[in-house]
């Protein structure tokens, strides 16, 4: 499905984020920026070793990346030129986790805008290994992106959901959501 928000086209689709041709992809990384399973593993596998080489130098410079923050690297062999690595919270049901999750989306858009990136694909951050329930994560993701686009109006945002069930949750939430004016 597709929604227009001011000057931005927002697409919600079922698919593999590594195949997206937006200028950048967002990766659901860990705070060591060490690679892993899930979408992180898929992005490194598809993009090749150039991504980890850049993460190695970021790690040497600043250590890892705390939850809620984001760093940017090349996309290596991906169609996307850049990967923005953000670190979601591990879900325990505390209030602070929603804020950290929102910060992942907000900081990713801010970093993209700062690098003159016009189109960006997001996975559903924290809802795999980090166990954030997608029914709770989807409204946080959507609300934050819609509101951040008022400050940084990118041309296109894609939410790329890996399963039919996740796609259905997003579709439902986006139609139900009272969007910021």
Q: Which is nearer to ligand AR6, 62 or 150 (CB)?
A: 62
Q: Is residue 56 among the annotated active site residues?
A: no
Distance of CA 117 to the CA centre of its chain: 14
Near ligand AR6 by CB under 6 A: residue from 126, 148, 154, 157: 126
Stretch that binds ligand AR6, among 24-32, 50-58, 67-75, 138-146 (CB under 6 A): 24-32
The answer to the question of residue 166 lying near ligand AR6 (CB under 6 A) is yes
How far apart are CB 177 and ligand AR6 at their closest, in Å? 19
The answer to the question of residue 39 lying near ligand AR6 (CB under 6 A) is yes
The answer to the question of residue 124 lying near ligand AR6 (CB under 6 A) is yes
**Which residue among the candidates 7, 16, 21, 40 is catalytic per the annotation?**
40
3-state secondary structure the chain: CEEEECCEEEEEEECCHHHCCCCEEEEEECCCCCCCCHHHHHHHHHHCHHHHHHHHHHHHHHCCCCCCCEEEEECCCCCCCEEEEEECCCCCCCHHHHHHHHHHHHHHHHHHHHCCCCEEEECCCCCCCCCCCHHHHHHHHHHHHHHHCCCCCCCEEEEEECCHHHHHHHHHHHHHCCCCC
Near ligand AR6 by CB under 6 A: residue from 28, 51, 98, 142: 28
The answer to the question of residue 36 lying near ligand AR6 (CB under 6 A) is yes
The answer to the question of residue 17 lying near ligand AR6 (CB under 6 A) is yes
Active site residues: 40
- Residues in touch with ligand AR6 (CB under 6 A): 16-18, 28-30, 36-40, 42, 88, 123-130, 160, 162, 166
């Amino acid at each position: 499905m597709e929604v227009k928000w001011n000057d931005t086209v927002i697409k919600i689709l079922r698919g593999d984020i590594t195949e997206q041709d937006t200028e950048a992809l967002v990766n659901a990384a860990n705070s060591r920026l060490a690679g892993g399973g899930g979408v992180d593993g898929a992005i490194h596998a598809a993009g090749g070793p150039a991504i980890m080489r850049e993460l190695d130098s970021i790690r040497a410079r600043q250590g890892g990346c705390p939850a809620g923050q984001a760093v940017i690297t090349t996309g290596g062999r991906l169609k996307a030129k850049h990967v923005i690595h953000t670190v979601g919270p591990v879900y325990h049901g505390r209030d602070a986790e929603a804020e950290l999750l929102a910060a992942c989306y907000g900081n990713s858009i801010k970093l993209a805008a700062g690098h003159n990136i016009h189109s960006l694909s997001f996975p559903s951050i924290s809802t795999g290994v980090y166990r954030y329930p997608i029914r709770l994560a989807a409204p946080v993701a959507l609300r934050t992106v819609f509101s951040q686009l008022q400050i940084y109006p990118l041309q296109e945002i894609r939410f790329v959901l890996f399963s039919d069930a996740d796609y259905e949750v997003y579709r439902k939430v986006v139609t139900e959501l009272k969007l910021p004016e």
